[in-house]
Homo-oligomer: A and B are copies of this chain.
Amino acid sequence: MRDNRIQSVSRAIELLTLIGEHPAGISIGNLTRLSGLHKSTVSRQVLTLIESGAVRRAADQIRVQIDPRFTQRFFAPTNTQTLITTIRPFLELLSRDCGEATGLSIPEVDQVRYIDQVSPDNAVRVRDWTGARFTLHSVAPGKLFLAHRSKEEQDHYLRQPLARYTDNTVVEPNAIRNSFRAIHMEGVSWITDEFTEGISAVAAPIFDQQDTLVAAIAIFGPSFRFPAPGSIESINTLIRDYAERCSKQLQRLAPKETNT
């Protein structure tokens, strides 16, 4: 019974790891010394790694380094952990600006999941929903996600019976469909007392570097004071501005070509 590990593959990962420890690049000779393999083996391994897209030649065409496009597959800026980390400072800024709670949520098939929230030190405040999931039609980010889907996907969701949470929950499919145009024109989505009595919320979309809607930033507060009379337009402007800054931040976080 022989070892089931593939020797040449083990060697490749070892070399890949060595290369990864030298972001500015490393020469074939140094790889040969560090790995202890024969130089022609190293040369051929590196050639294979280059042609496979894992490694590229640095600017001097001598040293080699990890190809950023390779690492982009493992550290997508839109995975949940990175989203939370990236957007959290904006939640704090926005919460300070509007004086209400702010939240970050992501679409999960037919639900919304809240993955982060910031609440200011108000005497009367909304509870923390981090980790909770809700149906799309009952919360502001959910209606936003729905509005950005294809008509087929919308019809599929609206065909099933929709739960009613309060007297104000909109469950009539055509009424919901009719709200999509306003959502697209305004760029935001509002709910008032539709999910829970006494809570109003507005959400705006966050796009990733491929212009995919990956999350929503939201403001929520008690309906008796949010939105303040006559303030809807300025709140829309504010939250759209923040959503756009979040989108730009995700784009900045995407790995870039770095020459040395």
Contacts and interface: CB of A to CB of B under 8 A. Distances in A.
Interface of A: 4-6, 8-10, 12-14, 16-17, 20-21, 23, 44-45, 47-49, 51-54, 66, 70-71, 73-76, 79, 81-82, 85-86, 88-90, 92-93, 249, 252-253, 255-256, 258
Contact of A44 (B4, B17, B73, B85): B4
Contact of A93 (B76, B92, B249): B92
A8 B7 CA distance: 9
27 contacts: A5-B47, A6-B44, A8-B8, A9-B9, A9-B12, A9-B52, A10-B48, A10-B51, A12-B12, A13-B48, A13-B53, A14-B52, A17-B70, A17-B73, A20-B73, A21-B73, A23-B76, A70-B74, A71-B71, A74-B75, A79-B258, A81-B255, A81-B258, A85-B249, A89-B89, A92-B93, A93-B93
Contacts of A13: 12, 48-49, 52-54
The number of times this chain is found in the oligomer is: 2
A253 B17 contact: no
Contacts of A249: 85, 88-89
Given A17-B73, A93-B92, A51 B252 contact: no
